[in-house]
Structure 1
Amino acid sequence: MSGRTRTAVVTGASSGFGRAIVKRLAADGRPVVALARRKDRLEALCEEAGPESRILPLAVDIRDGDAVAAALGALPEDFADVEVLVNNAGLSRGFGPVQAADPAHWQDMVDTNVMGQLHCIKAALPAMLEAGGGHIVNIGSIAALYPYSGGNVYGATKAFTHQLSLSLRTDLEGTGVRVSCIAPGMARTEFALVRFDGDEQRADALYQDVEPLAADDIAEAVHWCLSQPARVNVNMIEIMPTSQPFGLGFRTTTTRRSAD
């Protein structure tokens, strides 16, 4: 990364993609601020990464804009020079048609996937602008591009992520700040467990006969975006398992699967 060791902020760092991204970036010697709500998970991540890794765990709920601003505004000197924001935190709640949905699930998704992302951008961007460069990587989803039954509001929030990423490119023209969006397909993380309120059997059924992406696959994609020369902006990467049935995320057979 051009020999620099400026800080990366990664949200949703306690599990799944976020956890893998933190470990991948820290392996390069980069200071990483790991944000998530679950303090115990963050501490376990730091312990596993080892004392040589420069990881700062911060228990923050990204839905609280004031808390995000306070946390990133009070980083210790060794972590204060923020160059990278990986907006990874996100969730899906519920699975079914809009007419049968719980509006509380909609609120959870909008507060996290939309407002949480905006809170983090607003808090991290000033340091990048002051430095004359940086990189925002937003984690989207193929659900933003290919509709599937039951994915309505979740897919809409990820479509927001994709459009926001493109719009930020225009807002930040001439600032040296790059913006990328990565859209994963089916991946084996805690995502499905959250969607189905901890129902492991229902979550496991999604991956029947499919070898899903691993969290490390997305971490490598993030690392690749960041490692490009400053003249290169990777706008969008769409990644699916080889065995995933195209974009819809489920086959027209007896077993349906949802896209992450």
Structure 2
Amino acid sequence: MTSAAVGDGSGTTGTTERALRAVVTGASSGIGAATVRRLRAEGWDVVAVARRADRLQALADATGAVPLVADVTSDDDVARLVREVTGGGPVHALVNNAGGALGTDPVESGSLDDWRAMFEVNVLGTLRVTQALLPALRATGRGDVLVLTSTAAHGTYPGGGGYVAAKHAERQIAATLRLELVGQPVRVIEIAPGMVHTEEFSLTRFGGDQARADAVYAGVDAPLVAQDIADAIAWTLTRPHHVNIDSMVIRPRAQASNTLVARS
């Protein structure tokens, strides 16, 4: 493993005494865990943030990442996160991955508790951590704020109202922040995945109903997997720092839109 070069933003060429350093939220499973593994393979130092200490520790043992147990919906936890992260050195990238969907109820009968929970983690969690770490990212002279949204942030579908609303709001955080930071040494990147088969996303959405979760991917030829999105994240972060990948929408070939998916 080689250290990432601080000067040019590349994670694959050049070495320095100090590697680039990233904070990845929602790191205990799925896309977050895959991103930690990929950035570590690229030579980055990584602080892996999530609520589940056991999973974080296993990931840290496997990758050499630094585990940090914190809930992005908690002001106190995020304040502690910032103290611990900034006390360990500069921060060059924040990957706002923590998020998720709950339920598929129509807008007419949607659960206010589910909507509130989705806004807390997807929108306010991203806002809270971004605000807290932005001064440290700016101070490095080559900071990155990366926001994991969804194709739900670019369109809608029946039964997706709460998640769609939350992801649209999260996307606008990124879009607005990019305008507000123009001319400053901080890139703002949005990655919007479509159908990604991970171990927990659909299972959580359907309240632990494995059969309903499996049905989401039934008959789909090669849905995306977490490693596909981690690959895209690493690619955007390792472009020369004058190159900003504003927004990247990623779907499997079998998915043409949020509502049109080829199934066998």
Flag whether TM exceeds 0.5 (same fold). yes
Matches for 1:217-232 after TM superposition, within 5 Å = 217-232=228-243
Tell me by how many angstroms 1:29 deviates.
Answer: 2.1
Aligned to 2:152: 143
Tell me by how many angstroms 1:80 deviates.
Answer: 2.4
CA contact (8 A) 1:69 1:119 kept: no
> Are 1:35 and 2:55 an aligned pair?
no
Aligned to 2:3: none
Aligned to 1:237: 248
> Are 1:106 and 2:87 an aligned pair?
no
Kindly report the root-mean-square deviation, in angstroms, between the aligned alpha carbons of the 2 structures. Answer: 1.7
1:208-256 Cα shifts (integer Å, max 9, x gaps): 1112101000000001101111111000000001112x11244599x9x
> Which amino acid in structure 2 is aligned with residue 24 of structure 1?
R
Aligned to 1:60: 70
> Which amino acid in structure 1 is aligned with residue 96 of structure 2?
N
Question: 2:130 pairs with 113, 116, 121, which one?
Answer: 121
User: 2:261 & 2:52 partners in 1: Cα distance?
Assistant: 35
1:6-28 Cα shifts (integer Å, max 9, x gaps): 21000000000000000100112
> Which amino acid in structure 2 is aligned with residue 217 of structure 1?
D
> Are 1:75 and 2:85 an aligned pair?
yes
> Which amino acid in structure 2 is aligned with residue 196 of structure 1?
F
CA pair 252-131 structure 1, distance change in 2 beyond 3 A: closer
Aligned to 1:84: 93
Aligned to 1:258: none
SS in 2 for 1:206: helix
SS in 1 for 2:192: strand
TM-score, scaled relative to structure 2: 0.89
1:10-58 Cα shifts (integer Å, max 9, x gaps): 0000000000000100112211010000000101111222xxx3x1101
CA contact (8 A) 1:169 1:179 kept: yes
CA pair 159-188 structure 1, distance change in 2 beyond 3 A: same
CA contact (8 A) 1:65 1:116 kept: no
User: 1:181 & 1:65 partners in 2: Cα distance?
Assistant: 24
TM-score, scaled relative to structure 1: 0.91
User: 1:144 & 1:117 partners in 2: Cα distance?
Assistant: 14
User: 1:172 & 1:82 partners in 2: Cα distance?
Assistant: 17
CA contact (8 A) 1:114 1:160 kept: yes
Question: 1:159 pairs with 133, 152, 168, which one?
Answer: 168
User: 1:251 & 1:7 partners in 2: Cα distance?
Assistant: 38
User: 2:117 & 2:240 partners in 1: Cα distance?
Assistant: 37
User: 2:54 & 2:259 partners in 1: Cα distance?
Assistant: 33
Aligned to 2:218: 208
> Are 1:196 and 2:206 an aligned pair?
yes
CA pair 84-252 structure 1, distance change in 2 beyond 3 A: closer
Aligned to 2:20: 6
Q: How many residues align?
A: 248
> Are 1:26 and 2:40 an aligned pair?
yes
Tell me by how many angstroms 1:145 deviates.
Answer: 1.4
Tell me by how many angstroms 1:124 deviates.
Answer: 1.2
In the TM superposition, structure 1's runs of 4+ consecutive aligned residues that sit over 6 Å from their partners are none
> Which amino acid in structure 2 is aligned with residue 6 of structure 1?
L
Alignment gaps of 5+ in structure 1: 256-260
1:64-116 Cα shifts (integer Å, max 9, x gaps): 12311222222375x42101000000011111201222111011101100110
User: 2:212 & 2:84 partners in 1: Cα distance?
Assistant: 42
